[in-house]
Amino acid sequence: MLNRQRNISMLGDGFYSRVSLGPKAVIDHCEPLVLRALDQLTRHDRPLAVSDFGAADGGTSLNLMRSVVKRSKQNFPDRPVTVTYTDLPDADFTSLFRNVAEGTRTEDSYLKRYSDVFVYGSGTSFYQQIFPAESLDLAFSASAMHYLSAKPCTIVDHIHSVGAHRDEFREYQAQAIRDWTTILLNRSAELASGGMLVMANFCIDDHGQYLGNTGNENLFENYNLLWRDLNRDQVITDGEYRNTAFQQHYKTVDEFIEPLIDQANPVFQSGLRLVSAKSEIVKCPFRTAFKQGSLNPEQFATEFVNTHRSWTSTTFRAGLDETRSEEDKNAILDELYRRFHSLVLDNPVGHAKDLIHLYLVGRKV
Amino acid sequence: MLNRQRNISMLGDGFYSRVSLGPKAVIDHCEPLVLRALDQLTRHDRPLAVSDFGAADGGTSLNLMRSVVKRSKQNFPDRPVTVTYTDLPDADFTSLFRNVAEGTRTEDSYLKRYSDVFVYGSGTSFYQQIFPAESLDLAFSASAMHYLSAKPCTIVDHIHSVGAHRDEFREYQAQAIRDWTTILLNRSAELASGGMLVMANFCIDDHGQYLGNTGNENLFENYNLLWRDLNRDQVITDGEYRNTAFQQHYKTVDEFIEPLIDQANPVFQSGLRLVSAKSEIVKCPFRTAFKQGSLNPEQFATEFVNTHRSWTSTTFRAGLDETRSEEDKNAILDELYRRFHSLVLDNPVGHAKDLIHLYLVGRKV
């Protein structure tokens, strides 16, 4: 979700709101789970320690964190609260600290409303331990844990593991399972006894649905076809096509919950247990606006393509040969998204970026 | 010290090192005080909590913080350490997190060397409470606490309170004393019983010396004369000259220690006590290099002016009328620093930016 405000400055406030709407809806969907987790905490002798892992600029979780602070202050008026937002060092911490202190266009600041609340940032990867052992009460994260710690192999005929050949797919799958174990072991170490974990992660649900694959069109298949066309049209080389792959993997529901229910798993043995897990869909706000007639086909195509340009372009850019100039790279990316725009405009029906997440709750015994 | 790397990219590595040398020397000068404070801590049942207030990108305190972590790990090998760097939201937290994780050109990362060490950033002003009550063990800060929380009045005939008329000076002085009380009360609230505070702050020493006023030339007098010349030459307006003032004040040694020794002072009453206070000088590294012949006059003038352009230009820019274009503002600033360059080149002897600090140690009873 980094830098999602780039390239969209000319699309107006409605677009900005719709961009936030999906991720924010996912986070708001977590609220009952998070508040229930908060109520179930057993340790109250220290300040409440909450963390948002992979928080980007903190904007989409402001509403949730305000609810958390509010509930804590209702239950324990004198208990201080700390909220630590983590992401990679190149995240926009300046916007994060401003958003939390001042609020955003749509969300109020909880710092203004409640006293004795302290906010921090961490630039440490969630593949490492970010907090001292047993110091965290509530670990929250949304739409972050599909990013792998490393790319296990080339995907020869596709740009995402969802379309990889069997052997490649298995390497991505194995990497994702190892990574998920690492993530959970670190969170388990951080959580105090009785501490809770609530996460919404992109998943492959039991119907085989995943982000951008819920209807007639498949987002990653379309990107792959267009990227291959650019190769066929000699805009990019064979090597560039082959070297392009998202460093991410969508795990199944079973893969997500396995470490928390299998007694032989080191995560289970570390004390982290499954409380609940349920996959759900949050409908694409652009698709909804188009269906309702608030966007015409041209507007829909423009906004739809722009909303994923911000998080997909890094991957396509990284696939391009290092010797190309920045201008050259930009021109290729412009062409890719121009073609996607035409694809959508030619047949707008069926394009949607529905968000398929597993809503998972865990507890440290 | 924000963004001090701007505008200096063409001056080479030697300049970069000299820029860091002064502030870093001040911080390294604190090391024996900080390590002694660390040894005097009495609470060891929680992770050691250390903070660097007004840390900018954390580069100049890396050496000190490495020593702190090393000493703590020697004394308590299994005790986790947290280091929280605070600054305003617009500080460069990305560079901070990278510097701490990867080290800088001259300093190693302590995160690479020691395990169970956790680093955070805070974008909360040190005029507010940044940590929960009684949670902090060691509060460190260097060269930050001369920034006032607000500008109390216009300085009609000068650009810094060191040259203000009596009534204006008194308003700045009163603001600085109020602000220092606020700063200390917040640190006192944050510190655990037995916790220690070590700060190096710009001061007016008992000989009347302060930053840039230790020899034949006075940095702020020179800036004032040049800014007034620009007004006389109708480059800037009367209003712009009048409205320009650094939002800072240099306190005397007595003003610094008063709240920590006066039993009627709320800071003393909150439990914060003076351990030691000593003003000392760290010599201007540019002046030293010039005297030793490693810089010729032209190089000295260039580097000397560039080193304070980064932290002075914000103030001069803020004094300019809002209706001016950015190009216009840039041209005026270029002219100001060009004139300062000529001033130094005409008579290089006597220009120095010696750093006069009060090295202050306090303890929370």
- Contact call for residues A335 and A265 (beta carbons, < 8 A): no
Q: How far apart are CA B14 and CA A288, in angstroms?
A: 59
Instruction: State the number of CA atoms in the 13 A half-sphere of B229 facing the CB.
Output: 14
* pLDDT of res. A6: 37
| Residue-wise pLDDT tens digits, A31-69 | 999 999 999 999 999 999 999 999 999 999 999 999 999
* pLDDT of res. A349: 87
To the nearest whole angstrom, how far is the Cα of A132 from the nearest Cα of chain B? 6
Interchain proximity B89–A91, CB inside 8 Å:
no
- Contact call for residues A156 and A165 (beta carbons, < 8 A): yes
- DSSP 8-state symbol, B279: E
pLDDT of A18 over the 80 cut: no
Question: Residue B159 carries which side chain, given as an amino acid letter?
Answer: I
Residue of B nearest to A123 (CA): B97
- Measured in residues, chain A has a length of 365
- Most B CBs within 10 Å: which of A43, A83, A93, A190, as the mutation test of the B interface? A93
Q: Can you spell out the DSSP letters for B310-340? A: HHHHHHHHHHS-TTS-HHHHHHHHHHHHHHH
Provide the pLDDT confidence category of residue B14 given band limits of 50, 70 and 90.
low
Distances from the Cα of B81 to the Cαs of A53, A222, A296, B84, B362, in angstroms?
A: 20, 49, 56, 10, 21
CA-nearest of A274, A270, A283, A282 to A255 is A274
To the nearest whole angstrom, how far is the Cα of A56 from the nearest Cα of chain B? 12
Q: Higher model confidence: residue A8 or residue A340?
A: A340
Of A4-8, A73-77, A350-354, B340-344, least confident by mean pLDDT is A4-8
| Residue-wise pLDDT tens digits, B29-57 | 999 999 999 999 999 999 999 999 999 99
Three-class secondary structure of residue A233 per DSSP: coil
Question: In A, residues 39-68, which contact B (CB 8 Å cutoff)?
Answer: 47
- Contact call for residues A25 and A60 (beta carbons, < 8 A): no
Question: Do strands B355-364 and B251-252 pair parallel, antiparallel, or not at all (unpaired)?
Answer: unpaired
- Contact call for residues B307 and B14 (beta carbons, < 8 A): no
Provide, rounded to the nearest whole percent, the portion of chain A with pLDDT above 70: 95
Q: How far apart are CA B232 and CA B230, in angstroms?
A: 5
pLDDT (average), residues A161-176:
97
Interchain proximity B101–A93, CB inside 8 Å:
no
Tell me which residue in A47, A118, A121 faces B121 most closely, judged by beta carbons. Answer: A121
DSSP H helical segments within chain B, as ranges?
12-29, 31-40, 62-75, 93-102, 110-113, 166-190, 219-232, 238-243, 253-261, 266-270, 285-291, 297-319, 326-346
CA-nearest of A83, A86, A59 to B130 is A83
Tell me which residue in A47, A121, A124 faces B93 most closely, judged by beta carbons. Answer: A121
Interchain proximity A120–B120, CB inside 8 Å:
yes
- Measured in residues, chain B has a length of 365
Expressed in percent and rounded to 5, the helix, strand and coil fractions of chain A are: 45, 20, 35
pLDDT (average), residues B190-209:
97
CA-nearest of A174, A11, A344 to A19 is A11
To the nearest whole angstrom, how far is the Cα of A102 from the nearest Cα of chain B? 11
pLDDT (average), residues B262-283:
97
The torsion angles phi and psi of B236, rounded to 5 degrees, stand at -120, 160
Predicted complex ipTM exceeds 0.90: yes
pTM for this predicted structure: 0.93
Q: How far apart are CA A130 and CA A187, in angstroms?
A: 8
Interchain proximity A132–B96, CB inside 8 Å:
no
- Contact call for residues B92 and B3 (beta carbons, < 8 A): yes
Q: How far apart are CA B360 and CA B277, in angstroms?
A: 4
* pLDDT of res. A247: 97
Three-class secondary structure of residue A255 per DSSP: helix
Question: Do strands A355-364 and A272-282 pair parallel, antiparallel, or not at all (unpaired)?
Answer: antiparallel
pLDDT of B80 over the 80 cut: yes
Interchain proximity B93–A94, CB inside 8 Å:
yes
Write out the H or E segment, with its range, that includes residue A22. Answer: helix A12-29
Of A201-210, A272-281, B303-312, least confident by mean pLDDT is B303-312
Q: How far apart are CA A251 and CA A249, in angstroms?
A: 6
Interchain proximity A121–B122, CB inside 8 Å:
yes
- Contact call for residues B73 and B115 (beta carbons, < 8 A): no
Q: How far apart are CA A142 and CA A358, in angstroms?
A: 10
Residue of A nearest to B121 (CA): A121
Q: Can you spell out the DSSP letters for A303-341? A: HHHHHHHHHHHHHHHHHS-TTS-HHHHHHHHHHHHHHHH
Write out the two tokens for A173: 């799958």
pLDDT of B358 over the 90 cut: yes
* pLDDT of res. A13: 59
Write out the two tokens for B126: 């040190």
To the nearest whole angstrom, how far is the Cα of A93 from the nearest Cα of chain B? 6
Write out the H or E segment, with its range, that includes residue A171. Answer: helix A166-190
Residue of B nearest to A92 (CA): B94
CA-nearest of A130, A178, A189 to A150 is A178
CA-nearest of A241, A236, A81 to A159 is A241
| Chain center to CA of A259 | 21
DSSP H helical segments within A202-325, as ranges?
219-232, 238-243, 253-261, 266-270, 285-291, 297-319
To the nearest whole angstrom, how far is the Cα of B349 from the nearest Cα of chain A? 42
Query: Measured between CB atoms, does A84 come within 8 Å of chain B?
Result: yes
* Bridge partners of residue B51, in order along the sequence: B84, B139
Could you report how far apart the first and last alpha carbons of chain B are, in Å? 32
Provide the pLDDT confidence category of residue B11 given band limits of 50, 70 and 90.
low
pLDDT (average), residues A62-84:
97
- When the pLDDT of each residue in chain B is averaged and rounded to a whole number, the result is 93
Q: How far apart are CA B141 and CA B240, in angstroms?
A: 33
- Contact call for residues B48 and B72 (beta carbons, < 8 A): yes
pLDDT of B17 over the 90 cut: no
Q: How far apart are CA A114 and CA B181, in angstroms?
A: 24
CA pseudo-torsion sign B119, B87, B19, B3: positive
| Residue-wise pLDDT tens digits, A213-223 | 997 789 999 99
- When the pLDDT of each residue in chain A is averaged and rounded to a whole number, the result is 93
* pLDDT of res. A234: 97
* pLDDT of res. A215: 78
Question: Do strands A272-282 and B251-252 pair parallel, antiparallel, or not at all (unpaired)?
Answer: unpaired
| Residue-wise pLDDT tens digits, A228-279 | 999 999 999 999 999 999 999 999 999 999 999 999 999 999 999 999 999 9
CA pseudo-torsion sign B9, B10, B13, B15: negative
Write out the two tokens for B253: 């040694």
pLDDT of B259 over the 50 cut: yes
Question: Do strands A191-204 and A355-364 pair parallel, antiparallel, or not at all (unpaired)?
Answer: antiparallel
* pLDDT of res. B13: 58
pLDDT of B4 over the 80 cut: no
Q: How far apart are CA A67 and CA A140, in angstroms?
A: 13
- DSSP 8-state symbol, A163: G
pLDDT of B208 over the 70 cut: yes
pLDDT (average), residues B93-106:
93
Which chain B residues are closer than 8 Å to A130 by Cβ?
118
Q: Higher model confidence: residue B24 or residue A127?
A: A127
Tell me which residue in B80, B131, B132 faces A133 most closely, judged by beta carbons. Answer: B80
pLDDT of B285 over the 70 cut: yes
Q: How far apart are CA B331 and CA A11, in angstroms?
A: 34
Q: How far apart are CA A260 and CA A277, in angstroms?
A: 11
CA-nearest of B10, B53, B8, B38 to B199 is B53
Provide, rounded to the nearest whole percent, the portion of chain B with pLDDT above 70: 95
| Residue-wise pLDDT tens digits, A83-131 | 999 999 999 999 999 999 999 888 899 999 999 999 999 999 999 999 9
